[in-house]
């Protein structure tokens, strides 16, 4: 009997290979440095895409305003048919088709009182009027110039707004990136605390069996373990949340696993406070955007005042009239116009007042923003200095507390102290480790916050 080939091992091997490939693709997270995260966010962040589109809108508005200076060329084709005596005769003249017979020349000998039939009843006349017309503004009282100035200011304001949005996204990416590190460090702290709590509980069990400690000590150790287990869960949830926030900022789907590289190194800034304030006022893109908006409002006032000035225009027109489609009788027209509103019931005056009030409001917002920026710089300097000092102190304190906990654990094992002191020492150690993580995170964030206020939060200058 011929032995049939067994396909089960082959299928099983293929299935295991497929599962291992799928699992490895899922589990392997892409590790990104801070610079790579920033570059990805600047390309894919939805807020920045919208900010760039606002710049494009402003640029289109500028092209539109500049186009108002250029003469407008209009091409048209008008078709009309009529038996109205006056209109028909006029159309024949435009077509260069009028004859003496259209005046009733054949009836002229019948006397001057005879109504010529051809003139009064011309029949149905067709006309095709092909026209090219140029209209050019000569003087608009500053309306067009003001519109261009306003549109250009809006472009510059939008560009500064885009720069401000980019720097805020960089700041948010830094917070999320460092937040992942901080959350992961908290996970490590809680893991150490849980390991220590389990070790203590094991020791309590052994000492209770030997009669060295009472049961209440064991119960306190169990409570301690439960507490750190909850803290560990909270830290893990915070880590997951920080990674998800980073996904959102980078515009990356949650299904694509990400991880972060080394802690970001944000260089400190050392300069007198007055210098920092002046730098912020000169470079902060949010302030510069408001200044450009103020310029746009000034141009808006000039545009409103233009209604008080005369408007002068020029018109050039070329016509071709024919009884059918074509370029028949040619004619041209040259004209100019001057208009000046003598009285409009106060409408222009109200528009000027409205534009001036809008400008004053923007100016007030600018003044307030400049004062707030000075405070933001001062506060960022204070907090950055505070965070740096706290980090140095807490790193030094951590080594001391670690040694203290070692001694307390040794004393407790020898029956020289209580479980309360031992648990208190361990809690201090956990807090000291967490404080170092918090301080390190605060240093990076506060240094970046100062650079954000100065308008210097650029990925190449961090």
pLDDT in tens, 247-283: 888 888 888 888 888 888 888 888 899 999 999 999 9
Give helix then strand counts, H and E, for the chain: 11, 6
- Looking at the chain, how many residues does it have? 462
DSSP β-ladder status, 258-260 and 30-32:
parallel
Round to whole Å and give the CA distance between 10 and 296. Answer: 74
- Give the contacts of 450 (CB within 8 A, at least 6 positions apart): 269, 276, 377, 380, 381, 384
Per the domain annotation, does 122 fall within a domain? no
Contact at 8 Å (CB) between 32 and 262?
no
Among residues 262, 180, 263, 241, the alpha carbon closest in space to that of 444 is found at: 263
Give the pLDDT confidence score for residue 20 in this predicted structure: 39
**Of the listed ranges 73-82, 149-158, 452-461, the one predicted with least confidence:** 452-461
Per the domain annotation, does 157 fall within a domain? yes
Residues 46, 47, 52, 57, Cα dihedral to 10° = 100
- The phi, psi pair for 78, rounded to 5°, reads -110, 130
Question: How many Å from the N-terminal Cα to the C-terminal Cα in the chain?
Answer: 78
Per the domain annotation, does 158 fall within a domain? yes
Which CATH number does the domain housing residue 245 bear? Answer: 1.20.1600.10
Per the domain annotation, does 180 fall within a domain? yes
Per the domain annotation, does 83 fall within a domain? no
Would the pLDDT of 23 be above 70?
Answer: no
Would the pLDDT of 362 be above 70?
Answer: yes
**Of the listed ranges 112-126, 268-282, 436-450, the one predicted with least confidence:** 112-126
- How confident is residue 12, by pLDDT bands cut at 50, 70 and 90? very low
Round to whole Å and give the CA distance between 98 and 100. Answer: 7
pLDDT tens profile 180-203:
888 887 787 777 777 777 877 787
**Three-state DSSP state, 316:** strand
Q: Structural domain of residue 199, as residue ranges?
A: 23-74+147-315+344-461
**Three-state DSSP state, 29:** coil
Instruction: Note the helical H segments in 102-214.
Output: 117-120, 143-209
- How confident is residue 336, by pLDDT bands cut at 50, 70 and 90? very high
Give the pLDDT confidence score for residue 16 in this predicted structure: 39
Query: What's the mean pLDDT when you consider all of the chain?
Result: 84
Would the pLDDT of 434 be above 90?
Answer: no
DSSP code of residue 293: H
Round to whole Å and give the CA distance between 358 and 440. Answer: 45
Q: 415 or 334: which carries more pLDDT confidence?
A: 334
pLDDT tens profile 50-82:
899 999 999 999 999 999 999 999 999 999 999
Per the domain annotation, does 332 fall within a domain? no
Quote the tokens at residue 71.
Answer: 């003469």
CA-based radius of gyration for the chain: 42
Interval 158-186 mean pLDDT: 89
DSSP code of residue 103: G
Contacts of 239-246 with C-beta under 8 Å, sequence gap 24+, read: 239/180, 239/183, 239/184, 239/186, 239/187, 241/183, 242/176, 242/179, 242/180, 242/182, 242/183, 243/180, 245/176, 245/179, 246/37, 246/173, 246/176, 246/177, 246/179, 246/180
Distance of alpha carbon 261 from the chain centroid: 26
Per the domain annotation, does 93 fall within a domain? no
- The phi, psi pair for 152, rounded to 5°, reads -65, -40
Among residues 448, 428, 450, 432, the alpha carbon closest in space to that of 391 is found at: 432
- How confident is residue 171, by pLDDT bands cut at 50, 70 and 90? very high
Per the domain annotation, does 8 fall within a domain? no
Number of domains comprising the chain: 1
Quote the tokens at residue 388.
Answer: 């740096």
Interval 237-253 mean pLDDT: 88
Would the pLDDT of 411 be above 70?
Answer: yes
Count of other CB atoms within 10 angstroms of residue 221: 24
């Amino acid at each position: 009997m011929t032995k049939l080939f067994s396909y089960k091992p082959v299928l099983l091997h293929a299935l295991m290979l497929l599962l291992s490939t799928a699992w490895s693709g899922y589990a392997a997270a892409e590790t990104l440095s801070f610079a790579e995260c920033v570059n990805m966010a600047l390309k894919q962040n939805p807020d920045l895409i919208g900010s760039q589109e606002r710049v494009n809108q402003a640029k289109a508005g500028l092209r539109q305003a500049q186009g108002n200076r250029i003469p407008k060329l209009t091409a048209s084709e008008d078709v009309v048919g009529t038996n109205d005596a006056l209109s028909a005769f006029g159309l024949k003249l435009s077509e260069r088709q009028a004859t003496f017979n259209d005046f009733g020349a054949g009836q002229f000998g019948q006397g001057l009182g005879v109504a010529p039939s051809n003139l009064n009843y011309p029949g149905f006349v067709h006309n095709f009027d092909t026209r090219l017309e140029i209209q050019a503004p000569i003087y608009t009282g500053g309306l067009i110039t003001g519109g261009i100035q306003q549109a250009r200011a809006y472009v510059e304001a939008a560009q500064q707004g885009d720069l401000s949005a980019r720097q805020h996204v960089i700041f948010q990416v830094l917070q999320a990136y460092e937040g992942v590190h901080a959350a992961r460090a908290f996970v490590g702290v809680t893991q150490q605390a849980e390991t220590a709590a389990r070790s203590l509980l094991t020791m309590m069990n052994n000492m209770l069996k030997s009669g060295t400690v009472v049961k209440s000590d064991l119960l306190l150790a169990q409570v301690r373990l439960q507490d750190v287990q909850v803290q560990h869960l909270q830290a893990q949830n915070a880590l997951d949340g920080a990674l998800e926030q980073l996904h959102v900022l980078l515009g990356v789907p949650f299904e694509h696993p990400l991880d972060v590289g080394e802690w970001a190194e944000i260089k400190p800034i050392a300069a007198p406070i007055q210098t920092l304030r002046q730098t912020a006022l000169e470079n902060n893109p949010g302030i510069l955007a408001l200044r450009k908006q103020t310029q746009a409002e000034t141009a808006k006032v000039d545009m409103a005042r233009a209604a008080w000035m005369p408007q002068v225009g020029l018109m050039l027109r070329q016509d071709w009239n024919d009884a059918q489609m074509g370029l028949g009788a040619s004619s041209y027209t040259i004209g100019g116009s001057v208009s000046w509103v003598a009285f409009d019931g106060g409408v222009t005056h109200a528009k000027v007042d409205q534009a001036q009030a809008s400008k004053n409001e923007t100016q007030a917002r600018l003044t307030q923003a400049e004062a707030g920026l000075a405070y933001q710089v001062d506060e960022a300097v204070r907090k950055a200095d505070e965070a740096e000092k706290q980090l140095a102190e807490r790193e030094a304190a951590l080594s001391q507390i670690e040694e203290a906990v070692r001694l307390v654990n040794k004393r407790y094992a020898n029956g020289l102290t209580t479980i309360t002191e031992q648990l208190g020492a361990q809690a201090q150690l956990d807090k000291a480790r967490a404080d170092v993580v918090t301080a390190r995170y605060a240093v990076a964030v506060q240094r970046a916050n100062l650079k954000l206020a100065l308008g210097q939060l650029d990925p190449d200058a961090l």
